Amino acid sequence: MPETQPLRIGVLFVCMGNICRSPLAEGVFLRKADDRGVADRFLVDSAGTGGWHAGEPADPRVREVAGRNGLALTGTAREVCPDDFVRFDHLICMDDANLADLLDRGAPSQRVRLLLEFDSAQSMREVPDPYYGGADGFEALYAMIDSACEALIIDMLGTAT
């Protein structure tokens, strides 16, 4: 009798344009899952609340920081769609504006959380958008997302076993 594949936990990372914060969070989370040998337990993606950058790669500055940390961000930006509210168990937002936007679009409130809520080491509530800043903002972004994704995957694995 063939073994059935368990359902995967759907995690969607959401920011405004899907070119800085959310694709980096997707890449970091996937690496952490892969390093633990549990990547097959997750369905992971990222999206933006706006469609301005749909079809574009991640911002070159975030790709550079990711590359220095051993990540290749190969996806392209897309806008959140209603199907995401069904496909993903967890809609992980970078800031309060993203969270409010998802709720306004009808996302189930029990599935919508801020990324930094998972990381007790963070003193901030929101992941700041580095888009209009300098290179140091992208370095800080990586450190913040790396720490928060570590806390997130621990939380997910604790509830998914």
Residues across the chain: 161
For 3, half-sphere exposure in the C-beta direction (CA atoms, 13 angstrom radius) is 2
Whether this model's pTM surpasses 0.85:
yes
Catalytic status, residue 149: no
Check if 21 is active-site: yes
Q: 158 vs 8, 16, 42, 49, 155, CA distance in Å? A: 14, 29, 14, 29, 5
What span, in angstroms and rounded, lies between the C-alpha atoms of 50 and 63?
20
CATH placement of domain 9-160: 3.40.50.2300
HEC per residue, 18-54: CCCHHHHHHHHHHHHHHHCCCHHHEEEEEEECCCCCC
Q: Are 98 and 16 in contact (CB under 8 A)?
A: yes
pLDDT, tens digit, for every residue of 28-73? 999 999 999 999 999 999 999 999 999 999 999 999 999 999 999 9
Q: Which of 64, 94, 66, 61 has the alpha carbon at shortest distance from 80?
A: 94
What is the residue-averaged pLDDT of the chain? Answer: 94
Residue of 15, 20, 93, 149 with catalytic role: 15
Task: State the DSSP H helix or E strand holding residue 88, giving kind and residue range, or none if neither.
Answer: none
Q: How far apart are the C-alpha atoms of 144 and 130, rounded to whole Å?
A: 12
* Catalytic, out of 89, 101, 129, 146: 129
Residue 79, classed as helix, strand or coil, is: strand
Determine whether 83 is an active site residue.
no
Instruction: Write down the domain spans for the chain.
Output: 9-160
Per-position pLDDT tens, the chain of length 161: 455 556 899 999 999 999 999 999 999 999 999 999 999 999 999 999 999 999 999 999 999 999 999 999 999 999 999 999 999 999 999 999 999 999 999 999 999 999 999 999 999 999 999 999 888 899 999 999 999 999 999 999 985 44
21, 31, 61, 63: which is the annotated catalytic residue? 21
Say what angle helices 21-35 and 60-68 make with each other, to 10 degrees: 20
